[in-house]
Chains A and B, each alone.
Chain A
C-alpha cells in the first residue's frame, strides 16, 4: 500500500477550522489494514469464492468431479460461451449489451462449413467467416456509435437478421466439418495427465490479450470511462464514437474466433446451435461481477463467471441431480450478483 505515504488526512485547510468535510478520512491504522478490505472489495473476489465453494462441494459430493480429465472437460465445455463473453464484457463495460453474439458465431460456423465443402479451401473459408463476423460487429458498432441507437435494440434486430441469413445460407441443413483446420481447435495435447485442447489455449490467450487492452492501455481506460460517464469522457476529449466502434468491431472478431472454437468442440455446423449463447454470455459477465450499467467490472470476473456456470452444470450432472436445477441455481446467482452490485452502488452514494 502506498497510501501510507500520504501523511495528512486533512482536507483542504478551510478558514473555519471546525469544518470537517463529509469525505472519507483515513487514519494510519485503516491504511495499514486496508489491504484486506481492498482484497475483499475486489470485484472478482466474491465470484472466486463462489467458484471455489462449488468446486469444493462437488469434490466432496462426487469422486469423479475433482479429476484432471473432468476438470479439463469443464473448461472445454466453457470455451465457446467463455469467448463470446469476452466481447460481451467489453460491450457491457461501455454500458451496452450484445444479444447478437451467439447468432454471429453460428453464422460464422455455417458460412465456414458450407464454404469449405464448396470451395475446398479451409484457410480462406475460415478467414471469410472471421471477416464476416467482424463485419457484423462493425455494423452494430456503426449503428450504436454513429446513429446513437440503443445497443439492446440494435443487437436484437441484428440477431433476427443474422438468424434469418444463417437459415438461408444453411438451406435448412447442417454441415458436418471434416476439415482439419476448421476442427483444429478441438485437437488435444497432453500437459501432464491433463488433456488440453487448442481451443482452451486460444480462449485463455484471448482473455490475456483483452485483459491487457482493458487494464494496461489508454484504450481500455476509455472503454471504462465511456461506460461510467459518457458525457465526461467526451468532455475530456476521448473520441467516444471511434472507441465504441472499435469495441463492437473487435467483439465481432472475437465472435468469429468463437465460431472456430465451436467447430472444434462439435465438428458440425448446425444453424440451431448456440441458441442461448447470448444470454449465457450475459449471465457469465453478470455473475462475474461486471455491472450492467457499465464502467465497472473485470474480465477475470467474466472468466470466473463462465467457469461457475460450467462447474455447476458438470457437477450437478455428476451428482445425478436433475440438470434443471442448474438453471435455477444460475438464476439465483444472476439475481444475487445484480443485487450486490446495486447495494454496493447505493452505499457509495
Chain B
C-alpha cells in the first residue's frame, strides 16, 4: 500500500502476466478455446471483442473468478493457480469492476482502504483493533495526489461525487494495492464523455507509474486513446494482436467481427 513497500517493478518489456492455451467450457459452450495473452511491463493492453468472443471469461480467469479447464497462467514466468479473486489479489493483481464497487455512504478514505484497513501500531492495534484513521487519510490523500486525481476532500462521502470521480475512487483503490498489474473491466461503461476522460487519464497515470494495465472495453475510441497494444478476441481465442498505429478502428472492428482475417487465425492451438 505504500510505494516503498512495493517490490521492484520489472523492467519495461518483460512479460508480467501470461496465459497459454486457456480453455473454458460451460456445458456445450466453449467460452475460451485456447486463448493466449501476454501482458508486458509498462503497457496498457486493451482486450476487445464482440459479445461472446471470450474476453470477459479470459479476464475472469486472470483475476481468479473463473478456474480454467485447460491451459496455464503464469505470473512473472511462474505458473499460478487462482481458485478465487482473493488468491489473485494476494499476488498483487487488482481488478476494477464495471459496476461501481464502492460504498456510497462511506467517505473516500474509508472506501480506499475498505477490507484492508490499517490498524494502529502496537497494543492498541493488535489488542483493541483500533483503526489508524489519520494514517489511512494521509496515505489516501497522498496516493490521490500521486495519481493526480483531485477530489474535493478525502473525507467526503463517495455519494457526493460524480460518477467519474466514483469510478476514480475504485480505480485508485486498485492502483494503490496492486503490486503487479491492474485489470479493468469496462471501467468507462457507466460514464459520460468527460467522466470517461478522467478515468482514461487515471489509467495512463497508473501505467506511467510502472503498473501494467489490462483494459477491457467496448468503446473503440477509448481503446485507441489509451492502449499501447490491442488484443482482438474472436471465437474464444486471440484473433490478432496489434497497436493503435498499425490498424485503424474500422480494421479492428472488421477483425473482431470476422470480416477481415486476424493474423493469428490460422495458428494451431
Contact = CB atoms under 8 A, between A and B. Distances in A.
B114 A238 contact: yes
Interface string B143-161: 0000011111111100111
**Consensus secondary structure, chain B interface:** loop
A225 B106 contact: yes
Nearest to B198: A12
B107 to A, nearest CB: 10
Given A233-B114, A236-B101, A236-B114, A21 B194 contact: yes
A210 to B, nearest CB: 13
24 contacts: A3-B153, A6-B141, A9-B150, A12-B148, A12-B201, A14-B197, A16-B194, A21-B198, A24-B161, A216-B130, A217-B130, A218-B117, A218-B129, A221-B114, A222-B114, A225-B114, A235-B101, A236-B101, A236-B173, A237-B115, A238-B114, A295-B105, A348-B159, A348-B160
**Consensus secondary structure, chain A interface:** loop
Contact of B102 (A11, A222, A232): A232
A228 interface: yes
Contacts, number: 119
Given A21-B198, A218-B129, A221-B131, A3 B103 contact: no
A182 B101 CA distance: 48
A224 interface: yes
B89 A237 contact: yes
B162 interface: yes
A19 interface: yes
A37 to B, nearest CB: 12
Contacts of B161: 23-24
Given A6-B154, A236-B114, 11 more contacts: A8-B150, A10-B150, A13-B148, A21-B162, A23-B161, A24-B160, A216-B131, A224-B103, A229-B103, A232-B100, A238-B115
B71 interface: no
A19 B195 CA distance: 10
Given A221-B110, A348-B160, A24 B119 contact: no
B97 A235 contact: yes
A22 B162 contact: yes
B117 A14 contact: no
B162 A232 contact: no
A222 B114 CA distance: 8
Most buried by B among A2, A10, A219, A222: A2
A292 to B, nearest CB: 13
A296 B157 CA distance: 11
A180 interface: no
Contacts of A24: 152, 156, 160-161
Contacts of B102: 229, 232
A41 to B, nearest CB: 10
Nearest to A228: B103
B194 A221 contact: no
A263 B86 CA distance: 47
A87 B152 CA distance: 35
Nearest to A229: B103
Nearest to B96: A235
Contacts of B119: 218
B129 A219 contact: yes
B188 interface: no
Contacts of B110: 221
Chain A to chain B: the 5 pairs with minimum beta-carbon distance, closest first: A218-B117, A23-B162, A236-B115, A228-B103, A237-B115
A15 interface: yes
Contacts of A224: 103, 105-106
Contacts of B160: 23-24, 348
A6 B165 contact: no
Interface in B175-206: 194-195, 197-198, 201-202
A26 B150 CA distance: 12
Contacts of B137: 2
B99 A26 contact: no
A144 to B, nearest CB: 19
Interface in A211-270: 216-219, 221-222, 224-225, 228-229, 231-233, 235-238
Interface in B100-124: 100-106, 110, 114-117, 119
A10 to B, nearest CB: 6
B34 interface: no
A11 B89 CA distance: 30
Interface string A189-229: 00000000000000000000000000011110110110011
Contacts of A15: 197
A25 interface: yes
Given A233-B114, A236-B101, A295-B105, A14 B155 contact: no
A21 B164 contact: yes
B184 to A, nearest CB: 13
Contacts of B116: 236-237
A247 to B, nearest CB: 16
Most buried by A among B114, B129, B164, B173: B114
B99 A231 contact: yes
Most buried by B among A9, A12, A25, A218: A12
